[in-house]
Amino acid sequence: MADRPYNVLFLCTGNSARSIMAEALINQWGRGKFLGLSAGSHPKGAVHPIALELLKKMNFPTESLRSKSWNEFAAPGALPLDFVFTVCDNAAGEVCPYWPGQPMTAHWGVPDPAAAEGSEVEQWLAFRSAFKMLDNRIKIFTSLPFDALDRVKLQERLDSIGKTHPPSDPTQ
């Protein structure tokens, strides 16, 4: 595994917001050690406009981001996956395809910002909150001492990351 980047797939039902943001985040913070991917069990077919605008405002590349089915990553010849993280409760409860590479898995549930109702400001706040939660978890994940952890300890760490929340913002 160390001869190439770790392939990390983030799953969500619609693959329009949370998993897309997670893909962009790990590609940024993984610094070539990780290849971020995302998919959905029932992809919307388009990235949510607020997710795209937020990523652009934060100076993340967005050109290659697209909503796609998880079947792309289960097909013959697909990239071997090292890690698969569900970021929505619906995807976590679904029967997943067989993933090539026998990846380690964990559930990192994040509230769905695309389901936020209310004013435009309230919707943006939901996206910022999801972004901050994913950003925090991915930074923890990418800083793990992978070479020093056996599979059991690594699984414990992956599971505990899914329970972390971003540090409180004293300005809020």
Catalytic residue among 8, 9, 11, 12: 12
Catalytic residue among 17, 26, 88, 104: 88
φ, ψ for residue 90, nearest 5 deg = -65, -50
Query: Cα–Cα distances in Å, from 65 out to 36, 39, 96, 171?
Result: 10, 10, 22, 32
Angle, helix 49-57 to helix 18-29, in steps of 10 degrees: 20
135 as an active site residue: the answer is no
Query: Rounded to whole angstroms, how far apart are CA atoms 66 and 153?
Result: 33
φ, ψ for residue 111, nearest 5 deg = -55, 145
Which amino acid appears at position 123 of this protein? Q
96 as an active site residue: the answer is yes
Per-position DSSP letters for 35-78, written without gaps between them: EEEEEESS--SS--HHHHHHHHHTT---TT----BGGGGTSTTP
Catalytic residue among 58, 96, 140, 144: 96
φ, ψ for residue 35, nearest 5 deg = -110, 115
165 as an active site residue: the answer is no
Q: Which residues are catalytic?
A: 12, 88, 96
